[in-house]
Amino acid sequence: MKWISKNKKPLVFVIIIMVFIAGILDIKYEGLFFQILPESIQTYLADFFK
């Protein structure tokens, strides 16, 4: 636990990058978050990521 308290900035940066990549993959493969979005946004994102 001491390592986490000393290195908070790199850990937060890695978590943000992982969430960003997960979001892009969710949109690309039409996952749960993508299905919650309104139809108009789904259409736009589906065209954008093809």
Say what the pLDDT of residue 7 is.
Answer: 77
Say what the pLDDT of residue 33 is.
Answer: 92
| pTM, full prediction | 0.75
Spatial separation of the C-alpha atoms in residues 40 and 20, rounded to whole Å: 22
Under 8 Å between Cβ of 30 and 46: yes
Segments of 1-50 assigned E as strands: none
Residue 7's Cα: distance from chain center in Å? Answer: 23
Say what the pLDDT of residue 17 is.
Answer: 98
Under 8 Å between Cβ of 49 and 28: yes
List Cβ neighbours of 30 (8 Å cut-off, separation of 6 or more): 42, 46
Say what the pLDDT of residue 2 is.
Answer: 73
Q: pLDDT per residue over 1-50, tens digit each?
A: 676 777 788 888 999 999 999 999 999 999 999 999 999 999 998 888 87
Say what the pLDDT of residue 6 is.
Answer: 78
